Amino acid sequence: MDDSQIIRTEYSEVMKKSFIDYAMSVIVARALPDVRDGLKPVQRRTLYDMHELGIKYDKPYRKCARIVGDTMGKYHPHGDSSIYEALVVMAQEFKKGMVLVDGHGNFGSIEGDGAAAMRYTEARLAKLTQEVYLSDLDKDVVDFVPNFDETEKEPEVLPVRIPNLLVNGAEGIAVGMATSIPTHNLSEVIDAVKAYMKNNDITTKQLMKYIKGPDFPTGGIVVNKDDLPDIYESGTGKIKIRGKVELEELKRGKKRLVISEIPYTMIGSGIGKFLNDVATLVETKKTNDIIDISNQSSKEGIRIVLDLRKDADVENLKNMLYKKTRLEDTFGVNMLAVANGKPETMGIKKIIEHHVDFQFDLATRKYNNLLAKEKDKKEIQEGLIKACDVIDLIIEILRGSKSIKDAKACLTEGITENIKFKSKISEKMAMLLRFTERQATAILEMRLYKLIGLEIEALQKEHEETLKNIARYEDILNNYDSMADVIIAELDSYKKAYGRKRRTVVENAEEAVFEEKKIEEQEVIVLMDRFGYTRAVDVATYERNKEAADSENKYVIRCLNTGKICIFTDTGKMHQVKVLDIPYGKFRDKGTPIDNICNYASTEENMICICEEEQFTDSKLIFATKQGMIKKVDGSEFQVSKRTIAATKLQEDDEVISVQVIHGSQNVVLQTENGYFLRFLSEEVSEKKKTAIGVRGMKLQKNDVLESVYLFEEGTEIKVPYKEKEVTLNRLKLAKRDGTGTKARG
């Protein structure tokens, strides 16, 4: 019989606990940086592994595949791609305020090109990382914890000496929360830390005398300076950034706009999208000022050139680019990091406070470690100096001893029983010896050349130096100001060695306002063939080619160029297209597929009706479905700004077969697939909202479905084909809605 017990528990409780455990694991151990070193676990482990492998800044590069494999095997068992991506980002100068890895090979580009495979690229630690992020790991300054399989030890946090969370920023998506911290200037952040250490009551506003704002590696211009105090106080907000645009005057009055810096958010595919957006502005005639656009960016930097017309309105064009493209963009700030094992949103003062507390912890552990080592040295030095004074006696003890044990016992406790002495005086002197265990070991291991006069002098000088160090370390450990001075001196040395000028300009700029050139309103003809290729032509062109246009196209719609075309589909959706978005040109142009211009999915939907939005004014739309449902909807319900809406509600397995605009009173004829016709007046169709299914228009026979809907004015003769005969609709008996109808003879 199995002794194991079945534990009965509530399933929801198990799910809740498991999900919370998983979420906290993702938050703390994967996605968010630690406030102390500003690194995510994957970054920390990769840098530590490179340190352990000895891939230092002054050593040869090593293959990234070796680094990734070693990191994955020892510390980070989450897949090689995540480790390599983290390594690549730490080497990209356009992503980080300060690069932490010195990459060799193709590490991607600012335009979104990916890095080469890790078997081709090489890397080593940057000098900054070696000196500021990884130094003193041998001095017991941070705790080491077991790795995932408890075969190795890894640092819980790296002893980073600068506020890396602010300098290099962070971005990461956890479960139910995300972090997004902009990069800042190293020199400014160091000045802010020093100011905080001198006055712990300093305000965020006062700290901003030093930290002017974000400093993105791509430069650019922050244009909402006045919003920064609130953002830096709360840790959340939106920073508006613009690219740097300069006007170049060329010969013969020609001009060009040159974009030399881009918003940080445009890194990667954003540049390609920007070029497409500008091209779209030109194609849709939103601007006529741009003649040509070219991307001349290189390793030297960004250079996107817009060639302009001579009479171009440059300021208006700039504002259009800010408004209509990502040349002005928003960086969402959410300064979330792990502090004391929990995720916390912090302002810059809180981040600096955590950093300074961490620096004092590091310094305390470092100088305690150094002090212990100096005290050990002092003990041994004192023992050796004392031994030099009685060296003849010690030699006598060693020569008279039968074993090291006897010699050591004499040196430490004065035990002389097993030792032969030349005289009683020597024995009495030996009995007085009281060296420590460590001193006795050092004496026994001492080499004879240490008895040379100069060597003894050097030992005494070394002892004096040790005493000075002990006094200095004790002063640092016992006095806040002394420790603060040491930390500040280190920060000053990092600022001098690695500081650089600010790249991002921070200012208050006026809201970008531009005047759109008013489009001259005119009537156009929209043509769409049976394959959905759509184009617009002017009325005169259509009239000249009327016969060909009508025969070659499925839809021919007369409308205003400022209006919209509405497409109703069998799935009950309505898609809107601005006529201005439809390519305008010559009659024989091929046009553009309609599903490239709007959300219409030609693979999933069939067009039922296309009409101009203007037709909805003071009119109703009549909907009919395959299962015989029918309704009227007021046209105003379809005059909306959304590109796609649900135009009607459908029953299961039903689809729309007809949508028609109806004015006033008309005759309605419903025709089924099996040839049943029902005629009634449009007043009998109930008016419903677009969200309603409608009412039954006709009782259908078994396996029959509604096929067509006809509208006509009273007294109008309408003939429609059915099989090989014609049915005259106005001669059908006028009945009521929801009848079975009359069977036509085929």
The number of beta carbons lying within 10 Å of the beta carbon of residue 494 is 17
Which residue in this structure is represented by tokens 């912890």?
A: 361
Burial class (CB in 10 A: 0-12, 13-18, 19+), 564: buried
Give yes or no for a contact between 188 and 212, defined as CB atoms under 8 angstroms apart: yes
**Cα-flanking dihedrals φ and ψ of residue 491, to 5°?**
-60, -40
Give yes or no for a contact between 677 and 712, defined as CB atoms under 8 angstroms apart: no
For the question of residue 120 being annotated catalytic, the response is yes
Find the catalytic residue in 120, 264, 542, 676.
120
Per DSSP, 638 falls in state G
Torsion sign across C-alpha atoms 262, 268, 273, 279: positive
Which residue in this structure is represented by tokens 């510390």?
A: 75
**Cα-flanking dihedrals φ and ψ of residue 332, to 5°?**
-80, 120
Which residue in this structure is represented by tokens 């105003």?
A: 636
Give yes or no for a contact between 698 and 642, defined as CB atoms under 8 angstroms apart: no
Q: How far apart are CA 713 and CA 730, in angstroms?
A: 9
Q: How far apart are CA 50 and CA 498, in angstroms?
A: 21
Distances (CA, A) of 134 to 111, 131, 357, 398: 32, 6, 18, 46
CA 115-264-250 angle, 5° bins:
100
Per DSSP, 531 falls in state T
375 closest CA partner among 239, 279, 474, 257: 474
Strands 342-345 and 505-506: unpaired
**Cα-flanking dihedrals φ and ψ of residue 382, to 5°?**
-65, -40
Give yes or no for a contact between 277 and 325, defined as CB atoms under 8 angstroms apart: yes
Q: How far apart are CA 124 and CA 284, in angstroms?
A: 50
Catalytic residues: 120
